[in-house]
Amino acid sequence: MLKELLDNDRLFKALYFDVPNFLDKTIPSDMDRTSLIYKRIWPYRFIPDIQDEAKSLITTEWSYKLSSRADELIKLSTVRFFVIVHKDLVSVDYGLRTDFIINEINECRKSVELFRSFECRFVNCEDFIADSMWPGTFLTLNALKL
């Protein structure tokens, strides 16, 4: 999942460039995209120490349940993506940075190998407040085995 998020140029720019016109920026050719892992993208539910530096973040929550099939013990049931953006970075040339990132995550899920064997059904998308300076939005998907 992380690979698909990092490979999406539009999503990468929204996370990396803290300016309203981030899509106009060029990603340096020598950029190590994995440098965003544990700085801007977390593969688990985590609220990082975000008080000081204005930035945009994605954290995830993965839920599993017991399978009714004998050949598998557990299976993925729900994936939730949390997008947290410093209030000074929310307004961008393309609307809201939180909405832009959520839309790009939704596009990325179509190419994720893990999700190809599942039907990921939209459950909900809601705003939340992580802190007075850090609004966020989360996207919840249910994974149904095909």
- Domain chopping of the chain, boundaries: 2-145
What is the per-residue pLDDT across 106-135, written as a single tens digit (0 to 9) for each? 888 776 655 555 667 788 999 998 888 899
Reported as a single tens digit per residue, the pLDDT across 49-67 is: 766 689 999 999 888 777 7
Side-chain half-sphere of 6: how many Cα atoms within 13 Å? Answer: 16
Cβ-defined contacts of 70-78 (< 8 Å, 24+)? 75/143, 75/145, 76/114, 76/118, 76/143, 77/142, 77/143, 78/123, 78/140, 78/141, 78/142, 78/143
Q: Which of 6-15, 64-73, 100-109, 111-120 has the lowest mean pLDDT?
A: 111-120
Q: Domain spanning 2-145: which CATH class is it, in words?
A: alpha beta
Mean pLDDT of the 60-87 span: 80
pLDDT(32) > 70: yes
How far is Cα 86 from Cα 55, in angstroms, rounded to an integer?
6
pTM (two decimals): 0.85
Q: Which residue has the tokens 């966020």?
A: 136
pLDDT at residue 120 in the model? 73
Q: Which two tokens stand for residue 17?
A: 């460039």
